[in-house]
Structure 1
Amino acid sequence: MRIIVTSIFVEDQDKALKFYSETLGFVKKHDVPTGEFRWITLVSSDDQDGTELLLEPNDHPAAKEYQKKLFAEGIPVTMFGVADVPKEYEQLTKQGVKFIMEPTEMGEFTIAVFDDTCGNLIQIAQK
């Protein structure tokens, strides 16, 4: 058994697609109409057959509440691995990404947390 798709709720699929592809560098794998919304997944440019990230519309009231509460509490919805957190922090900051936690050492990990502009906090980490 392996993880093939993981999802995050987003307020606006088009805005999220732009942020995750143009700012973070993920590659769009699927963009399929599903009625009012779309099945949009992205993958790492380094592993295009790897785990897909689904940009899930937060249209359901429970999804909206979940997303708002996590954001308000400062809890990241997911974590992305990077080779060098300080370097990634510097690069993303230059692109206008707002971090709520600068690179911080936590034991054997270095982490940072940013706002994805779509209602989520995302943590990046390196070991």
Structure 2
Amino acid sequence: MPLGGRGARLRPPVQQPGLDQAADRRVETAVAEDCRAAAVPVIVTGTLTNYCCGTTARQAYERGYQVVFGADVTATDDESRQEPELAVLRKGFALVLTAKEIADRLKAADPAPEGGSRVRAA
């Protein structure tokens, strides 16, 4: 699954007066449609792997996104639950990679321009 690429860019936030997107997670936007059409993956990081992160990955998958799940940039409140959740996600919901693997794929998809340098993430 390619991550990023030449011409990849961040889009400005969608302004929809009166719409609370955080309260209604079912909202579909033009940005979401563009991301799916361009096969832009959703990269999941955070806590809790077996609750919020896993749910986010499943919902993104169900909405047609390619999902990349950070194995070492997610965490649980009970270490014994991390690997079982990653195993379930690997079965079909997400491509589970380490942060280094994600970064390497992003770099490979968008090499530095000749004579130039890339902006590096902190």
Q: TM-score, normalised by structure 2?
A: 0.27
Q: Which has the higher helix share?
A: 2
Q: TM-score, normalised by structure 1?
A: 0.26
Q: Which has the higher strand share?
A: 1
